[in-house]
Amino acid sequence: MWRFIFLSIIFILITGCGQKIPEPESFTAEASELGKKDSDIQVQHFVEGNRVKVECFVPEVSFNNADRNSAKINVYIDGEFHDEYDTAAFVIKNLEAGSHKMKIEVVGLNEQTFQLSKSFEVTIF
């Protein structure tokens, strides 16, 4: 009986390993974000009372006046120029109650346009 079990185990091992084991496939993966341009501006805003905190992320643009790609941000509220900022994060204070359309536009220090802008609406209660 033991011989039968032993021969059965050997037979299973031999026939099970008889087929070639497949080689693992290797591939090269590249990280990418589809449909996203590197020169896109990203804007986050937070409303607190009658103030709006704005944070901008602009790739390949610096807000340091000494850099070659230095820029500033022009802010328009309800279609009218409000102010310019030379930082990527800023606070707009004392907005009147109601809904306001805001436009953030990135321009060079000599007013050349970078063709980068973002519009959004805020509601002040």
User: Would you write out the chain's pLDDT as a tens digit for each of its 125 residues?
Assistant: 778 888 888 777 676 655 566 666 555 555 544 444 445 889 999 999 999 999 999 888 888 888 877 899 999 999 999 999 999 999 999 999 999 999 999 998 777 777 889 999 999 98
CA 102 to CA 88: how far, in whole Å? 16
- Whole-model pTM: value is 0.66
Domain range list for the chain? 42-124
- Domain 42-124 classified CATH 2.60.40.10? yes
